[in-house]
């Protein structure tokens, strides 16, 4: 679950983001507390707090005094936009570059995408088709 | 926040051997520290001096702003769980826990009972007859239930099986959340404690090699794997902690955080990138300073001159 070599607080923040993106953590719902995160992931509470702070800075979580952390309204949109861009950087740019070296145009690529998606309907569960 | 422990220019000499060499550090309140290093690096010596169980040769130690020696006011707020704690010959765990209860003002008997139960500790068997793991459990229980403001655990896991160690880590975290305090955990099982510790102190050959936030240390080094020539080309001019090769494939661990350009360069060179765990990084760092490393560790700010390399060959 936790992978080495990357700051833990980032991984905690991403885990919360994942739940918001996939809908398990709805907007306006209460987010797990720092202590709950620490206990669940078996990590230092200060690390969990850092991850949570990153999400409040981003406007994904909001603090309600005396009650706890909540998922901000509009949080999912923020995250989807962010991930859409990241997805394009990470996958689409190299895809286009490789396509160009193979002499494939955008239409060829689109056709290829559709062809492959039809072959593997069950694995087509990526952020791309939600965004 | 004011530090709970301040150490400046601490040295300890045992005859020929300089066990601690100009150690300076400050321990912050309500933080879990990992005190890591090889056997004989000076971890236990440092902890026993901080808890007034050993004398410094020179330097200054302040615990809660005071000198800890024969200072009951300070010592009742500090708990040191030694790896080789001695108990009176005919004592049983129940006696050891009773004594601890009298000594530590914040003692939680309920927690002690619960832990004894979880570790399945025979409370009335003589400590001499306990297994190594049961003996460790006595120390762990005292360390946790004392709720001392500063608690040192010196390799508390010896003889504890994986289940018992997990109980220890879980209860430590649980109790720390409810009763924040300073915990200093000395351990060789770095991977097991890496996620628990907020700060990491690495001591090597009596010196502080690293004193940093654990999260900052992560990603401090990376391993690139691939064609030996490509690995060498990419690592040229970088600080290499470790390199090994098998035929045409080489793997090199380099120090330094990677920039996006670095990453792109690695991909372009057809190399693979592997993360380096805290344990691997510390193994490499302490191994290197034991070899004839040309320069002192760039990770330690406190560490001006190159290491003196007059020690025995390991």
Q: Is the dihedral of CA B89, B92, B96, B101 positive or negative?
A: negative
More confident residue, B309 or B276: B276
Q: Which of B195, B225, B266 to mutate to test the interface with A (most CBs of A within 10 A)?
A: B195
**A vs B: CB pairs below 8 A:** 57
From B261, B303, B260, select the one nearest B285 (Cα to Cα): B303
Place of tokens 């740019």: A93
Q: What is the residue extent of each domain of chain A?
A: 8-73, 81-129
Contacts of B110 (CB under 8 A, 6+ apart): none
Which contacts of A64-67 are long-range, i.e. CB under 8 A and separated by 24 or more positions?
A67/A30
Query: How far apart are the C-alpha atoms of A104 and B64, rounded to whole Å?
Result: 70
Query: How far apart are the C-alpha atoms of B241 and B287, rounded to whole Å?
Result: 9
pLDDT at B60: 95
Q: How high is the mean pLDDT of chain B?
A: 88
B residues 3-62 lying closer than 8 A (beta carbon) to A:
31-32
More confident residue, B298 or A100: A100
Query: How far apart are the C-alpha atoms of A56 and A64, rounded to whole Å?
Result: 11
pLDDT at residue A130 above 80?
no
Domains of chain B: 5-216 (3.40.50.300), 221-275 (3.30.70.2020)
Which residues of chain A neighbour B32 with C-beta distances below 8 Å? 44
pLDDT at B286: 85
pLDDT at B290: 59
A43 has a chain B CB within 8 A of its CB: yes
Question: Picking from A5-14, B28-37, B203-212, B288-297, which range would have the lowest pLDDT averaged per residue?
Answer: B288-297
Which residues of chain B neighbour A44 with C-beta distances below 8 Å? 32, 173, 195-198, 214
Query: How far apart are the C-alpha atoms of B291 and A33, rounded to whole Å?
Result: 46
Residues composing chain A: 131
Which residues of chain A neighbour B275 with C-beta distances below 8 Å? 3-6
B residues 162-181 lying closer than 8 A (beta carbon) to A:
169-170, 173-174, 176-177
| Contact criterion met (CB below 8 Å) for B225 and B235 | no
Q: Are the beta carbons of A50 and B215 separated by less than 8 Å?
A: yes
pLDDT at residue A55 above 70?
yes
pLDDT at residue B294 above 50?
no
Residues composing chain B: 314
pLDDT at B212: 93
pLDDT at A131: 40
Which residues of chain A neighbour B196 with C-beta distances below 8 Å? 42-44
From B241, B300, B230, B248, select the one nearest B276 (Cα to Cα): B241
φ and ψ at B81, to 5 degrees? -95, 105
Nearest-CA residue of chain B relative to A8?
B215
- Based on the number of CB atoms within 10 Å of its own CB, is B66 exposed (0-12), middle (13-18) or buried (19 or more)? exposed
Place of tokens 């965004």: A131
Residue among B32, B173, B277 minimizing CB distance to A5? B277
B215 has a chain A CB within 8 A of its CB: yes
Using pLDDT thresholds of 50, 70 and 90, give the confidence band for residue A121: low
| Contact criterion met (CB below 8 Å) for B297 and B287 | no
For residue B235, how many other CB atoms are within 10 A of its CB?
17
Using pLDDT thresholds of 50, 70 and 90, give the confidence band for residue B174: very high
pLDDT at B307: 34
pLDDT at A5: 63
For B91-125, write each residue's pLDDT tens digit.
Answer: 999 999 999 999 999 999 999 999 999 999 999 99
Q: What is the mean pLDDT of residues B297-306?
A: 40
pLDDT at B84: 81
Nearest-CA residue of chain A relative to B167?
A42
pLDDT at B31: 96
CATH 3.40.50.740 is the classification of domain A8-73: no
For B230-249, write each residue's pLDDT tens digit.
Answer: 999 999 999 898 899 988 89
pLDDT at residue A122 above 90?
no
pLDDT at residue B23 above 90?
yes
**Dihedral angle of Cα A38, A40, A42, A47, to the nearest 10 degrees:** -30
pLDDT at B308: 32
């Amino acid at each position: 679950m936790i992978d080495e070599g990357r700051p833990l607080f980032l991984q905690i923040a991403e885990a919360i983001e994942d739940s918001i993106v996939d809908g398990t953590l709805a907007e306006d719902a209460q987010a797990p507390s720092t202590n709950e995160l620490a206990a669940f992931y078996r990590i230092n509470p200060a690390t969990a707090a850092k991850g949570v702070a990153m999400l409040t800075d981003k406007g994904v979580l909001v603090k309600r005094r005396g009650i706890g952390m909540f998922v901000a309204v509009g949080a999912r949109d923020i995250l989807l936009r962010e991930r859409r861009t990241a997805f394009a950087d990470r996958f689409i740019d190299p895809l286009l570059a490789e396509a160009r070296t193979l002499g494939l145009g955008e239409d060829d690529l689109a056709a290829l995408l559709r062809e492959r998606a039809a072959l593997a309907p069950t694995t087509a569960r990526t952020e791309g088709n939600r965004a | 926040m004011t530090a709970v422990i301040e150490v400046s220019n601490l040295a300890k000499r045992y005859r020929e051997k300089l066990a601690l060499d100009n150690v300076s550090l400050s321990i912050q309140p309500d933080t879990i520290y990992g005190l890591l290093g090889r056997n004989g690096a000076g971890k236990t010596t440092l902890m026993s001096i901080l808890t007034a169980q050993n004398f410094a040769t020179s330097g200054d130690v302040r615990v809660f702003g005071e000198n800890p020696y024969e200072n009951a006011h300070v010592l009742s707020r500090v708990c040191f769980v030694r790896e080789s704690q001695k108990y009176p010959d005919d004592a049983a765990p129940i006696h050891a826990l009773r004594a601890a209860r009298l000594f530590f003002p914040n003692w939680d008997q309920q927690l002690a009972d619960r832990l004894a139960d979880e570790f399945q500790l025979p409370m009335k068997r003589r400590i001499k007859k306990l297994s190594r793991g049961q003996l460790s459990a006595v120390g762990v229980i005292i360390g946790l239930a004392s709720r001392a403001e500063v608690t040192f655990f010196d390799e508390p896991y010896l003889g504890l099986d994986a289940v018992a160690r997990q109980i220890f880590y879980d209860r430590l975290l649980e109790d720390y959340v409810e009763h924040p305090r300073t915990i200093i955990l000395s351990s060789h099982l770095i991977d097991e404690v890496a996620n628990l510790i907020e700060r990491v102190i690495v001591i090597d050959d009596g010196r502080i090699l690293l004193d940093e936030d654990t999260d900052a240390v992560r990603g401090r080094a990376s391993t690139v794997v691939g064609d030996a020539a490509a690995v060498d080309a990419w690592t040229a001019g970088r600080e290499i902690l470790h390199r090994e090769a098998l035929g045409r494939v080489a793997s090199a661990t380099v120090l330094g955080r990677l920039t996006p350009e670095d990453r792109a360069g690695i991909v372009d060179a057809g190399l693979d990138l592997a993360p380096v765990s805290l344990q691997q990084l510390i193994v490499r760092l302490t191994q290197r300073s034991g070899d004839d490393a040309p320069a002192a560790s760039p990770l330690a700010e406190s560490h001006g001159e190159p290491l003196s390399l007059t020690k025995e060959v390991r």
